[in-house]
Amino acid sequence: MSLEHLDSKTQEELETKYMTVEVSEEAKNSDMTLPNLETMPPIKLVALDMDGTTLREDKTFSERLIKVVHKIQEMGVTVAICTGRAPESIQGFAKTLGLDKGHGYCVCFNGGSLINLDDINQDLEVSYLAAQDIIDLEAAARRADCVIHAYSTRRFLLTESNIIFTEMEIASSMQPFEFIDFPDGLNKEEKAYKVIAVGDEDKLDRMRESLPADFEERFTIARTHPNFLEFMIKGCNKGTTLAKLCKILNITLDNVAAFGDAENDIEMVAEAGVGVAVSNAMPKLKAVAKYHTFNYLDDGVACYLEKLFKLPPQL
């Protein structure tokens, strides 16, 4: 099949249109909870989720967050983006935050890949689904009247549809995409960092409820959006890959502050020394987070980092 790619202007328009995260009234009136700043281990690595955590509705970072992230890097702190996105889609964001100087990292595909932002084409660590995993997931999605997208380790987005949810994923991936007829059109040697089942919210609910019993043993499963249900190989998540980054940096997870909003952030937020959920986070993440901050529209992460590193407000 031929490969296609959206132009940058269309990409930006679609991403802003489809990938906005709603904030409830309750989340607009939340409090911040902090560790004991005098007794906590030193924070040497800050892990930032993007959509729903640090990116605003227009898919940009606030000036306040940009200033804070630059400031803490000047203090010697490493900053890593931890996202479900592909490396290609975070390059511009990384440059804005000053992470493109050879000292920034990214956990991509919900832990499927770890890269140094100095060379996004090189996987420092990789976990993947095999072709049979992709086929089994597509069959489960089809039974629920959903479809799948697969992020190939060849750095292509494999998709079987042109429905609105496909448009949403193409908008956020910034990877070339290939339409494929599952399962017969799938190369038996194909590998994927992750698979996303997409569809109406109620259909994805039914799909999750009816998954074969062994899927919990085979896959890490996370709801990241009302219309996205994501699958990685079992044991692969942002937390396990973040732990691998800690080994590279010769630190422990106690030295990490991690911020997130969705189910794919659960492990990294639960395991980090300072694990923080924004107030608009999904209930499952809030339940495991040790600490909490304001919602993403109110600059919850920037405000928290100012407190954590004893900085004046970066307004």
Digit-coded pLDDT (tens) for 121-174: 999 999 999 999 999 999 999 999 999 999 999 988 898 887 777 777 777 777
- What is the spatial distance between Cα 7 and Cα 11, in angstroms, rounded to a whole number? 6
Strand partners, 277: 260, 292
**Mean pLDDT score, 241-267:** 97
* pLDDT confidence of residue 9: 63
Do β-strands 45-48 and 256-260 pair in parallel, antiparallel, or remain unpaired?
parallel
CA angle 20, 92, 313 (to 5 degrees): 70
**Mean pLDDT score, 276-280:** 96
**Mean pLDDT score, 308-313:** 95
* pLDDT confidence of residue 132: 97
Q: Is the pLDDT of residue 14 over 90?
A: no
29 vs 135, higher pLDDT? 135
Q: To 10 degrees, the CA torsion angle through 201, 137, 129, 226?
A: 0
Say if CB 291 and CB 276 are below 8 A apart.
Answer: yes
259: its two tokens? 């911020």
Q: Is the pLDDT of residue 18 over 70?
A: no
Quickly state the pLDDT bin for 193 (edges 50, 70, 90). very high
Amino acid, single-letter form, for residue 138: E
* Mean pLDDT (the chain, rounded): 90
* pLDDT confidence of residue 89: 87
Q: Is the pLDDT of residue 3 over 50?
A: no
Quickly state the pLDDT bin for 2 (edges 50, 70, 90). very low
In the chain, what are the domains?
31-126+237-308 (3.40.50.1000), 129-233 (3.30.1240.10)
- What is the spatial distance between Cα 198 and Cα 165, in angstroms, rounded to a whole number? 6
Quickly state the pLDDT bin for 232 (edges 50, 70, 90). very high
Q: Is the pTM of this model over 0.85?
A: yes
Say if CB 278 and CB 261 are below 8 A apart.
Answer: yes
* pLDDT confidence of residue 15: 58
- What is the spatial distance between Cα 29 and Cα 271, in angstroms, rounded to a whole number? 26
Q: Is the pLDDT of residue 248 over 90?
A: yes
Q: Is the pLDDT of residue 17 over 60?
A: no
Say if CB 106 and CB 72 are below 8 A apart.
Answer: no
* pLDDT confidence of residue 20: 62
Quickly state the pLDDT bin for 113 (edges 50, 70, 90). very high
Q: Is the pLDDT of residue 16 over 70?
A: no
* pLDDT confidence of residue 96: 95
Taking the alpha carbons of 85, 286, 217, 146 in that order, is the dihedral positive or negative? Answer: negative
**Mean pLDDT score, 252-267:** 97
- The percentage of residues in the chain with a pLDDT greater than 70, rounded to a whole number, is 91
Residue pLDDT, tens place only, 78-106: 999 999 999 988 989 999 999 977 678 99
* pLDDT confidence of residue 129: 98
**Mean pLDDT score, 19-26:** 66
- The percentage of residues in the chain with a pLDDT greater than 90, rounded to a whole number, is 73
